[in-house]
């Protein structure tokens, strides 16, 4: 299918899915059913009629208030719908010619719900992880069947095991850094990433820690983001000549790759120097951190989206 058409269809579909994710994000951590009762205003309990339940539009038309009692309705609802729609458009376009597109969309929806719940409650509920496996696994099998690529499934199973072992060891060594839910989620993401190829699995295991470090630094000492940005820009500008010089004047095969690698290195180097200086002067806030789940989800999804054609 044409990527633009796929983006449009999955984007609109994603808005509706986002509306359902709002229900999941609110009810699952509160141990309520996601199907009963139907949506109602949290303040006056009036059931929400279908015309007031149109994703994004209803919230905008009602200017963020309940039609009956006028209570303010959080901007988080349209935001989740918009974000889900946008992510579905990107994933739908990226996998528009791949049988695994439905599995990836289910994964995307699940990751959005899990990240939102983890941010608020420090929890990655099994009530979301297990249904994702139950719905996603047959869809991966369907994808493999459509592509006649059964080795991908074997690789995916091995990837799930590898990711599980890696994160189990980290969890065992540093239980305060992450919860056991992260270990389960890593196995799920390892499956999806390795389905696409070993390099994607490597990236999916590595990127969450890069995002986590940048996020952790940004929360503890936001000022460090400036030297990181400067280092990144300098590295990107000079990447080709740096790599050429380091390799004894040879021509650089992949200029973009060289730029990205040097930019990352320079950003981390400059950022660490400033961070360590601030830490030595005790200008760094300690103890505040956000859960690892959103980093894990974002890093793995990024790895899945940037992988080359397999
Ligand atoms: Zn109301």
Question: Do residues 34 and 24 touch, judged by C-beta distance below 8 A?
Answer: yes
Smallest CA-to-CA distance from 80 within 21, 132, 26 is with: 21
Is the predicted pLDDT of residue 309 greater than 50, yes or no?
A: no
Is the predicted pLDDT of residue 248 greater than 80, yes or no?
A: yes
User: Measured in angstroms, how far is the CA atom of residue 67 from the centroid of ligand 1?
Assistant: 7
DSSP class of 48: P
Is the predicted pLDDT of residue 283 greater than 90, yes or no?
A: no
Reported as a pLDDT band with limits 50, 70 and 90, residue 297 is very high
Model pTM?
0.85
Q: What's the confidence (pLDDT) of residue 110?
A: 98
- Measured over the CA atoms of residue 153, residue 150, residue 146 and residue 92, the dihedral's sign is positive
Is the predicted pLDDT of residue 198 greater than 60, yes or no?
A: yes
User: Measured in angstroms, how far is the CA atom of residue 52 from the centroid of ligand 1?
Assistant: 12
User: Measured in angstroms, how far is the CA atom of residue 73 from the centroid of ligand 1?
Assistant: 9
User: Measured in angstroms, how far is the CA atom of residue 207 from the centroid of ligand 1?
Assistant: 43
User: Measured in angstroms, how far is the CA atom of residue 49 from the centroid of ligand 1?
Assistant: 12
Tens-digit pLDDT profile for residues 203-213: 899 989 988 88
Is the predicted pLDDT of residue 133 greater than 90, yes or no?
A: yes
Percent of the chain exceeding pLDDT 70 equals 97
User: Measured in angstroms, how far is the CA atom of residue 86 from the centroid of ligand 1?
Assistant: 29
Cα–Cα distances in angstroms (integers) from residue 136 to residues 11, 133, 147, 233, in the given order: 19, 5, 16, 39
Is the predicted pLDDT of residue 116 greater than 80, yes or no?
A: yes
Is the predicted pLDDT of residue 94 greater than 60, yes or no?
A: yes
Cβ atoms within 10 Å of 51's Cβ, excluding its own: 10
Q: What's the confidence (pLDDT) of residue 141?
A: 97
Reported as a pLDDT band with limits 50, 70 and 90, residue 249 is confident
Distance CA 6, CA 35 (A): 29
pLDDT, the chain, mean: 90
Tens-digit pLDDT profile for residues 211-231: 888 888 888 888 888 999 999
User: Measured in angstroms, how far is the CA atom of residue 84 from the centroid of ligand 1?
Assistant: 25
Reported as a pLDDT band with limits 50, 70 and 90, residue 287 is low
Is the predicted pLDDT of residue 41 greater than 50, yes or no?
A: yes
Tens-digit pLDDT profile for residues 147-197: 999 999 999 999 999 999 999 999 999 887 788 999 999 999 999 999 999
In degrees rounded to 5, what are phi and psi of residue 40? Answer: -140, 160
Question: Do residues 221 and 283 touch, judged by C-beta distance below 8 A?
Answer: yes
Lowest-confidence segment of 143-147, 174-178, 197-201 by average pLDDT: 174-178
User: Measured in angstroms, how far is the CA atom of residue 40 from the centroid of ligand 1?
Assistant: 8
User: Measured in angstroms, how far is the CA atom of residue 66 from the centroid of ligand 1?
Assistant: 5
User: Measured in angstroms, how far is the CA atom of residue 251 from the centroid of ligand 1?
Assistant: 66
| The two three-digit tokens of residue 151, written as one number | 């080795």
Question: Do residues 195 and 100 touch, judged by C-beta distance below 8 A?
Answer: yes
Give the dihedral of Cα atoms 113, 48, 66, 84; nearest 10 deg. 30
Q: What's the confidence (pLDDT) of residue 88?
A: 97
DSSP letters spanning 85-149: HHHHHHHHHHTTTSTTHHHHHHHHHHHHHHHHHHHHHS---HHHHHHHHHHHHHHHHHHHHHHT-
Cβ atoms within 10 Å of 117's Cβ, excluding its own: 24
User: Measured in angstroms, how far is the CA atom of residue 65 from the centroid of ligand 1?
Assistant: 8
User: Measured in angstroms, how far is the CA atom of residue 70 from the centroid of ligand 1?
Assistant: 6
Distance CA 66, CA 48 (A): 9
User: Measured in angstroms, how far is the CA atom of residue 27 from the centroid of ligand 1?
Assistant: 18
User: Measured in angstroms, how far is the CA atom of residue 6 from the centroid of ligand 1?
Assistant: 37
Is the predicted pLDDT of residue 85 greater than 50, yes or no?
A: yes
Q: What's the confidence (pLDDT) of residue 223?
A: 86
Helix (H, G, I), strand (E, B) or coil at 72: strand
Segment 33-39 mean pLDDT: 87
User: Measured in angstroms, how far is the CA atom of residue 72 from the centroid of ligand 1?
Assistant: 9
Cβ atoms within 10 Å of 242's Cβ, excluding its own: 19
Q: What's the confidence (pLDDT) of residue 310?
A: 37
Is the predicted pLDDT of residue 23 greater than 70, yes or no?
A: yes
Q: What's the confidence (pLDDT) of residue 200?
A: 92
User: Measured in angstroms, how far is the CA atom of residue 260 from the centroid of ligand 1?
Assistant: 50
| The two three-digit tokens of residue 294, written as one number | 């959103």
In degrees rounded to 5, what are phi and psi of residue 247? Answer: -95, 20
Segment 83-97 mean pLDDT: 95
Where along the chain do its domains lie? 222-280
3-state helix, strand, coil in the chain (%, to 5): 75, 0, 25
Question: Do residues 307 and 199 touch, judged by C-beta distance below 8 A?
Answer: yes
Is the predicted pLDDT of residue 46 greater than 70, yes or no?
A: yes
């Amino acid at each position: 299918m044409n990527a633009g058409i796929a983006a449009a269809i999955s984007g609109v579909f994603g808005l509706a899915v986002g509306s359902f994710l709002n229900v999941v994000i609110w009810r699952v951590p509160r141990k309520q059913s996601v199907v009963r009762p139907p949506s109602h205003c949290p303040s006056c309990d009036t059931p929400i009629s279908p015309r007031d339940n149109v994703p994004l539009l209803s919230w905008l038309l009602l200017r963020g208030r309940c039609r009956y009692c006028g209570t303010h309705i959080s901007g988080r609802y349209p935001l989740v719908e918009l974000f889900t729609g946008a992510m579905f458009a990107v994933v739908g376009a990226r996998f528009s010619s791949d049988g695994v597109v439905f599995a990836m969309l289910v994964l995307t929806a699940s990751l959005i719900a899990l990240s939102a719940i983890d941010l608020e409650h420090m929890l990655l509920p099994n009530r979301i992880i297990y249904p994702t496996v139950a719905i996603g696994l047959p869809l991966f099998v369907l994808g493999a069947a459509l592509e006649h690529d059964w080795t991908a499934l074997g690789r995916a199973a091995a990837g799930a095991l590898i990711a599980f072992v890696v994160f189990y060891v980290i969890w065992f060594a540093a239980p305060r850094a992450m919860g056991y839910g992260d270990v389960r989620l890593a196995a799920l993401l390892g499956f999806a990433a390795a389905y696409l190829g070993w390099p994607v699995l490597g990236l999916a295991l590595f990127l969450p820690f890069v995002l986590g470090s940048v996020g952790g630094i940004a929360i503890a000492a936001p000022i460090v983001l400036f030297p990181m940005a400067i280092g990144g820009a300098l590295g990107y500008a000079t990447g080709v000549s740096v790599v050429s010089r380091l390799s004894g004047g040879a021509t650089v095969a992949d200029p973009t790759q060289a730029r990205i690698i040097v930019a990352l290195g320079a950003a981390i180097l400059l950022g660490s120097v400033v961070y360590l200086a601030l830490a030595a002067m005790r200008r760094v806030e300690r103890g505040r951190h956000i859960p690892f789940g959103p980093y894990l989800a974002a890093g793995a999804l990024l790895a899945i989206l940037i992988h080359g054609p397999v």
